[in-house]
Structure 1
Amino acid sequence: MIERAPNKRIRDIDWGIVLIVAVLAILSVVMVSSATRVNITGDPSYFYIRQTLWFVIGFAAMFLAIRIDYAEWEKRWKSLYGAGVCSLALVNLAGSAANGARSWFQLGPLKLEPAEFMKLVLILVLSRLLKDCQASITYRQLARILLLAAIPIGLVILQPDLGTAMMMSAIVCGMLWSAGIPRRHLLGLSAIGVSFVGLLLLMYVVRQDLFFAAIQPYQWERLTMFLNPETVKSGAGYQLYQSMLAIGAGQWFGEGVYRGSQTQGAWIPERHTDFIFSVIAEELGFLGAGFLLVSYCILLVRMAKIGREARDNYGSLVVAGVL
């Protein structure tokens, strides 16, 4: 049986966080609606209705989670980890494929992406393993933690989904730092990471055939095109270039919701997903984009406060991982 959180009352909820998330949710639905109003295959209402549905599910899950003592997740970390790894392995074998990646299961109108579930599981697992060792962590314990993290990250890379793998790696690094492990361990891990990047760059110079066997050409282009996006604006840098035009067009006050020239002209690919920020900046301007970023900053500050006030190291590390 999963136990309820002890003495959890409505007044104990940080309603500031709930309000910020609600505002971001409403803004999200409006901007997705604007981004998919024209030049979208199928029913334009599908995307913002799906977005709304996910938020309803998300808020319901949030209030359900509030009722559960987070110590219960600590007890079940092995089961959660096993379920997460199995789901990643299964999606690699039988998941839906799009844009060259096999990353999710299609369940009717909803898409379930195991990697998103695994991000939370990874936070819960690392919090459990780091809560007691921290400054006294041994090399053996650190190696175990890195191995447990490397398995799901490797499965995500195989999809391939380099962006999510990088996000999960950042979670691992951030939690190791938040846990206060010895500086020599962090320096050692940093040296390994720098050496790996250096080896890849050397391989790029000496043996490009081996380099592009490890990294797909499009992934390399995405990592380097920011250096000079205008030279590749008709190729790999097209999305970045068009998004920059949209952001610039917004100026101070924006062109208005449903009125963005780049957005409504469908010049921005993936404008309702990866490049939604350019839609916000074009239609709401610098002030709207600034409001969005300030809202996120306030959210992060309030999360940091909750992490500092957590009743134990496990709770504090869970908050740090999510933050």
Structure 2
Amino acid sequence: MFDRKVFLHLDWWLLGYMAIIMIIGVINLNSASTADSYYQWKQAQWYAAGTVFMLLCIIFDYRVLASHAVHIYILTVVLLLLVIFVGKSVSGSQRWIPLGFFNLQPSEFAKLSTVIVVSSYFYHNEKPSYGIKDLIRPTLLMAVPFFLIFRQPDLGTALLVLLIMASIILVAGLRWTSILTIATACIAAAPLAWKLMKPYQRERIKIFLNPESDPLGSGYHIIQSKIAIGSGQLFGKGYMAGTQAHLDFLPEVHTDFAFSIWAEEWGFIGAFILLSVYFLIIARGLQIASQSKERFGSFLAFGITAMLFWQAVINICMVTGLMPVVGIPLPMISYGGSSVITTMIGVGLLINIKSRRFIFDSK
């Protein structure tokens, strides 16, 4: 139920960090699309819509999500199945459901769904520690959205779903023997995973290991990205003066390689500021998780924080050549409606959890 006391305890720091990220996002997209102002204005609309969703996620009691996790899971699977039949295909990937005014990407919302479903499972099945048998049910549940996302194909988001689930499992209290067993199983399954990958996905891993092997082909993107980031040096080349992006050497600067153009134009100082804001958001999320007054809120806050952490880390490692290019957007900076709205819903839930901690104290 709605409680007006929630607004007395809003996390203004977290809201401020999100405002800074949105300002950076619009500034960066304005430079990334100098020939066409479509992206920055469209992104500004997503920010506005995301702000509405964020505020809506603050006003209700987040604990109701624990009892509706099954419905959220079913809705997620249905949307992922719809992608197979009515999905829009772009560049060989079928990930979007066209709604006329908006292309819905269910795999983005599947990340948040994973947080809610896995958090609800450990909330309803409380134990001092968990073994392999305790993980069978949540693993089977999440295997369905994982493979539906993987077949789109969207390897990056599928792996992100696994990382979010693994993060919550670890904080729930997994036995060391179980950790070793899972690690061994993952290593043993690596050859099978390699065979299941699409040819272009295997090529990305090969290029990650040696991008100079095909500098004008598969390795071109990452080489140009590293040139852009490195050429920014300490203070950058100046706003809208990035040569790699504006001379079309660096592709996809409004999506996958948004960090590259930011680092090129604003240098190490600008990159440090952006990373610092992400660090503050992650730290705030971990603080909210640790201070939550009940178990579900703690899992939910940690899972959302893990979602933001892994997405930012993977994207930045990807564009700097520390990981293969897997198409993970940089939260709130890369262009994309589904990604922006999912992130802001998650932040809204974080603020909800933090605000209601004080309400629980007063009852």
Q: Same fold by TM (over 0.5)? A: yes
Q: Is there any run of 5+ residues in structure 1 with no aligned partner, and where?
A: 39-43, 202-210
SS at match of 1:135: coil
Q: Distance in 1 between matches of 2:193 and 2:49?
A: 42
Q: CA deviation at 1:37?
A: 1.1
What corresponds to 1:27 in structure 2?
24
Q: Distance in 2 between matches of 1:28 and 1:243?
A: 18
The correspondence for 2:280, drawn from 298, 304, 310, is 298
The correspondence for 1:99, drawn from 91, 100, 103, is 91
Written as runs of structure 1 = structure 2, the 5 A alignment for 1:29-108 is: 29-38=26-35, 44-108=36-100
Please, what is the CA RMSD of the aligned residues? 1.5
Q: Distance in 2 between matches of 1:292 and 1:260?
A: 17
Q: Distance in 2 between matches of 1:11 and 1:152?
A: 38
Q: Distance in 1 between matches of 2:154 and 2:141?
A: 19
Are positions 1:256 and 2:238 aligned together? yes
SS at match of 1:104: strand
What corresponds to 1:205 in structure 2?
none
Q: Which piece of structure 1 moves more, 179-188 or 161-170?
A: 179-188
Q: Which piece of structure 1 moves more, 124-133 or 156-165?
A: 124-133
Q: Is there any run of 5+ residues in structure 2 with no aligned partner, and where?
A: 306-363
What corresponds to 1:111 in structure 2?
103
What corresponds to 1:142 in structure 2?
135
Q: Distance in 2 between matches of 1:233 and 1:284?
A: 26
The correspondence for 2:250, drawn from 259, 268, 288, is 268
The correspondence for 1:158, drawn from 151, 154, 157, is 151
Q: Distance in 2 between matches of 1:235 and 1:109?
A: 35
What corresponds to 1:128 in structure 2?
120
- Contact kept? 1:50, 1:110, Cα under 8 Å: no
What corresponds to 2:227 in structure 1?
245
Alpha-carbon displacement from aligned partner over 1:89-120 (angstroms, at most 9, x marks no partner): 11122111101111012233422110111111
Q: Distance in 2 between matches of 1:245 and 1:138?
A: 46
Give aligned pairs, total.
304
The residue identity in structure 2 corresponding to 1:84 is: T
- Contact kept? 1:134, 1:181, Cα under 8 Å: no
Q: Distance in 2 between matches of 1:63 and 1:318?
A: 17
SS at match of 1:97: strand
Q: CA deviation at 1:13?
A: 1.3
Q: CA deviation at 1:29?
A: 1.1
The residue identity in structure 2 corresponding to 1:59 is: T
- Contact kept? 1:35, 1:264, Cα under 8 Å: yes
Cα 1:47/1:108, change in 2 over 3 Å: farther
The correspondence for 2:11, drawn from 11, 14, 21, is 14
The correspondence for 2:187, drawn from 187, 194, 199, is 194
Q: CA deviation at 1:225?
A: 1.4
Q: CA deviation at 1:189?
A: 1.6
- Contact kept? 1:129, 1:145, Cα under 8 Å: yes
Q: CA deviation at 1:145?
A: 0.7
Are positions 1:319 and 2:301 aligned together? yes
- Contact kept? 1:135, 1:182, Cα under 8 Å: no
Larger Rg: 1
What corresponds to 1:206 in structure 2?
none
Q: CA deviation at 1:245?
A: 0.9
Q: CA deviation at 1:161?
A: 0.4
Q: Distance in 1 between matches of 2:48 and 2:241?
A: 28
What corresponds to 2:165 in structure 1?
172
Q: Distance in 1 between matches of 2:279 and 2:11?
A: 16
